[in-house]
Structure 1
Amino acid sequence: MSTVIGVTSAGGVAIVGDRVVASGGHVRSRSRQHVFDAGRVGFAVVAADVGGVADRLSSEIRAYRTERGDLDIDPLARMASDLAAEFDATLLLAARDDDGRPALRAVAADGGVTADDVAAFGSGAPVALGVLEAGHDPDATLDEAATLGRDALSAAAERDAGTGTDLDSYRLSV
């Protein structure tokens, strides 16, 4: 498994994830991307079939834009919710809300969607959440939020073999 986290701040939303693929207690790869930039929206996936989820969600995002224009957080969350239940995946989403402000949504494997200031999924999530909750500042800049996310993943990597140190990130600024 890997670990992905999301952090909101006054400056926007940062999503950070590592590149580890682990199963059966063994690291299978250290090069699998879990954080994706879909142009004006970003998402992170933790699942057995990360590529399948990312490809389907990216395809649905493109189709939505072709038919309806810009995509905000609520339709993105509905799309991700359907895929989460189908693929047994967890996702973090960053997109603008109805007012044009960056927003973060966490989508559980059962399709449930929550709006959080900080969120984490994956094998290192308990450690990462501890760091995120202790250090979260809603008035922080986007750079400070991204740094907190990297620090949370570094702490998780020290304590969880399923979390790596090579990171990808997505930022959505105000």
Structure 2
Amino acid sequence: MALEDVCGMNKVPFMMRFDERQSMWQQEQLRTATSNFENPYCLMAPPFERPAENLPKILAHCGVNMDFAHGTTTLGFKFQGGVILCADSRATSGQYIGSQTMKKIVELNDYMLGTLAGGAADCVYWDRVLAKECRLHQLRYRKRMTVDTAARIICNISNEYKGMGLVMGMMLAGYDDEGPKLIYVDSEGMKSSGLVFSVGSGSPYALGVLDTGYRYDLTDQEAYDLAKRAIYHATSKDAYSGGIVRLYHINAEGWRNICNTDCADLHDFYCAAMHDKKKDGQNGDAGDQELPCGSGWTSRKLPEDNVQTKLASV
């Protein structure tokens, strides 16, 4: 064996034992599969072209049922006190609830946050890569990365992997030299700045509440209540949203986690408040507490429907 080592004959493929060749093959496969540890921007693509189009065909041919339906509700808006981010915590795969404690708001640095919507694995992985880039940028240039720069990095990643099945829609919110920023980016390479955004399957319900109660001159407490109220209504209407409502506030001092409230507790609070308001209304008191969507239209419409039903039965 010593002579083989000196002459290098043990490295010739036909002179190697089977277990050695098997071990080398496994190491090579492991090195290839974990290449993103050295370069996080280098990911293994599926071994066929146009994965987003061809994967469903392959699964149908093999008789494998894989449901890629996604659901979530995240929102963000700017107001005079900074930026508010709020999200639920339910992670689903089709009809299956995988987790009720998913953290959909990620701390990128002390002054910037990112939200998750779409594929959980895609969003979590690239948010971690972005957090690493933020830290390296701060070490290299002795200043924090701006929100626009972070959004441009995600857009470049999305364009590079466009058409490969990447499902990602996130909001980047932070406070830099130009003030508060709120930017939406997705897996199609779209980048948009705005005052109000909501992403996910429950976003139509959340936007309905935001359109009703949002204004730029909100106080901090009003902004907190509006964000929690919007997510609560989305979770009550959207089966793919639920769990814990996490609320964050970003201003010139950095971000703060305001509260983490269970949806069941919010439901009990709003139902009790609605009952108190109806009771005060019957006594002639309008009530001091503003309630979500308390237009009274439903209470007026129900008796009319009952009358129509009785007339139809007669």
The structure in which a higher percent of residues are helix is 2
Residue of 117, 121, 133 corresponding to 1:46: 117
Other-structure match for 2:39: none
Partner in structure 2 of residue 130 of structure 1:
208
Of 150, 153, 164 in structure 2, the residue corresponding to residue 79 of structure 1 is 153
How far does the alpha carbon of each residue in 1:5-30 deviate from its partner, in whole angstroms, 9 at most, with x for none? 00110000011111110111321111
Alignment of 1:1-174 (within 5 A): 1-38=71-108, 39-48=110-119, 49=121, 50-68=123-141, 69-85=143-159, 86=161, 87-99=166-178, 101-174=179-252
8 Å contact kept, 1:90–1:109: yes
Structure 1: runs of 5+ lacking an equivalent = none
Whole-angstrom CA distance in 2 between matches of 1:26 and 1:81:
31
Instruction: State the structure with more CA Rg.
Output: 2
Provide the secondary structure at the position in 1 that maps to 2:116.
strand
* Residues 14 and 142, structure 1, Cα contact 8 Å, conserved in 2: no
Residue 289 of structure 2 corresponds to none
Cα–Cα, structure 1 residues 131 and 83, in superposed 2: closer, same or farther, change >3 Å?
A: farther
Q: Could you tell me how far 1:84 is from its partner in structure 2?
A: 4.5
Unmatched tracts of structure 2, length 5 or more: 1-70, 253-314
| Cα offset, 1:117, TM superposition | 1.1
* Identical-pair percentage: 26
Once residues 177 and 136 of structure 2 are traced to their aligned partners in structure 1, the CA distance between those partners, rounded to angstroms, is 20
Q: How many residues align?
A: 173
Q: Quick one: which amino acid aligns to residue 118 of structure 2?
A: A
Return the alpha-carbon distance in structure 2 between the equivalents of residues 89 and 118 of structure 1: 19
Residue identity opposite 1:73 in structure 2: V
Q: Secondary structure at the match of 1:46?
A: coil
TM-score by length of 1: 0.90
Does the CA-based 8 Å contact 2:180-2:251 persist in structure 1? yes
- Greater RCO between the two (CA within 8 Å, min separation 6)? 1
Distance in 2 between the 1:163 and 1:82 partners?
A: 29
The CA RMSD over aligned residues, in Å, is 1.7
**Separation in 1 of the partners of 2:224 and 2:200?**
18
Q: Does the 8 A contact of 1:118 with 1:133 survive in 2?
A: no
* Mapped partners of 2:236, 2:107: distance in 1: 27
- Is the partner of 1:111 in helix, strand or coil? coil
| Structure-2 separation of matches of 1:80 and 1:146 | 28
> CA separation of 1:142/1:60 partners in 2, compared to 1, >3 Å: closer, same or farther?
farther
8 Å CA contact 2:134–2:144 kept in 1: the answer is no
